[in-house]
Amino acid sequence: MIKSGKILEKFEKTLLKKERLSHAQAVRIFEALYKEARALGVLPGPHPLEGVETDIRLAKILNSRP
């Protein structure tokens, strides 16, 4: 558990200074993470607007005033 955000922030800055990635390496990492997220169902599939009508209807109901 993280108890001090300042310590974590300092650690992250130090780590970023030590690690230098080329653009190609960063793109490969990004693509691998993206594929994993798609496989886990975290990111939308090939039809990102699928179900948007339901979301809009729910938003209207939740945001209406009595």
Taking only the tens place, the pLDDT of each residue in 14-62 is: 988 888 888 999 999 999 999 999 889 888 777 878 888 999 999 999 9
The whole-model pTM stands at 0.46
Site of tokens 């693509």: 31
At 15, is the secondary structure helix, strand, or coil?
A: helix
First to last CA, the chain: 43
pLDDT at 2 over 80: no
Q: What's the confidence (pLDDT) of residue 42? A: 83
Q: How far is CA 27 from CA 18, 45, 47, 49, 62, in A?
A: 19, 20, 24, 26, 40
Q: What's the confidence (pLDDT) of residue 33? A: 94
Using CA atoms, how far apart are residues 30 and 38, in angstroms rounded to an integer? 12
Q: What's the confidence (pLDDT) of residue 32? A: 96
At 28, is the secondary structure helix, strand, or coil?
A: helix
